[in-house]
């Protein structure tokens, strides 16, 4: 059964945390799909993964349905990606319908009131269906 981890941010952007989680998952040998709200956010994640931390190398590319996977980290906003990744990092406001294909899901909850409301709704969705949940409160970053 898919394990779901909620990361509650006290500050900072969910995109930056997604970069850190991607780097960690890659270091552990996992394949990652970063699900974004839009093509614009996917492009932003693509750029951010190159620059979020000096000395970091996180091989990634934007997901394309018919293209072969060349990197362990895929970024996209598709409703049902054809990918064999282990970890789903969700940056969208809603639960992706394809989440159960992944071993783990990382749900990032931003600091804005709307993001918190959406996070609560996603938490209830998983909880009501019996998925194992973990919550991680992330401290304020400078």
The tens digit of pLDDT for each residue in 31-53 reads: 999 999 999 999 999 999 999 88
Q: Work out how many domains the chain is built from and give that number.
A: 1
Q: Residue 33's domain is classified under what CATH number? A: 3.40.50.10110
29: which residues sit within 8 A by CB, 6+ positions away?
none
Q: What is the pTM of this model?
A: 0.95
CA–CA dist 126, 112 (Å, integer)? 21
What is the pLDDT at residue 16?
94
CA–CA dist 13, 31 (Å, integer)? 22
pLDDT tens-digit readout, 94-142: 999 999 999 999 999 999 999 999 999 999 999 999 999 999 999 876 5
- Domain extent, residue 10, equals 3-138
107: which strand partners? 6, 90
Cα 71 off chain centre by: 16
Nearest partner of 60 among 69, 47, 72, judged by Cα: 72
What is the pLDDT at residue 37?
96
């Amino acid at each position: 059964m898919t394990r779901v981890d909620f990361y509650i941010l006290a500050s900072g952007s969910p995109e930056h945390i997604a970069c850190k989680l991607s780097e960690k998952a890659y270091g552990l040998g996992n394949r990652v799909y970063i699900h974004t709200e839009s093509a614009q956010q996917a492009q932003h994640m693509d750029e951010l993964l190159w620059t979020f931390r000096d000395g970091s190398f996180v091989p990634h590319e934007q997901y394309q349905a018919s293209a072969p996977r060349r990197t362990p980290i895929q970024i996209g906003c598709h409703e049902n990606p054809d990918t064999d990744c282990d970890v789903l990092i969700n940056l969208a406001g809603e639960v992706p319908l394809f989440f159960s294909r992944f071993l783990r899901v990382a749900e990032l909850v931003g600091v804005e009131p709307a993001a918190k409301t959406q996070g609560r709704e996603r938490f209830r969705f998983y909880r009501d269906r019996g998925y194992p949940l973990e919550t991680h409160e992330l401290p304020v970053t400078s």
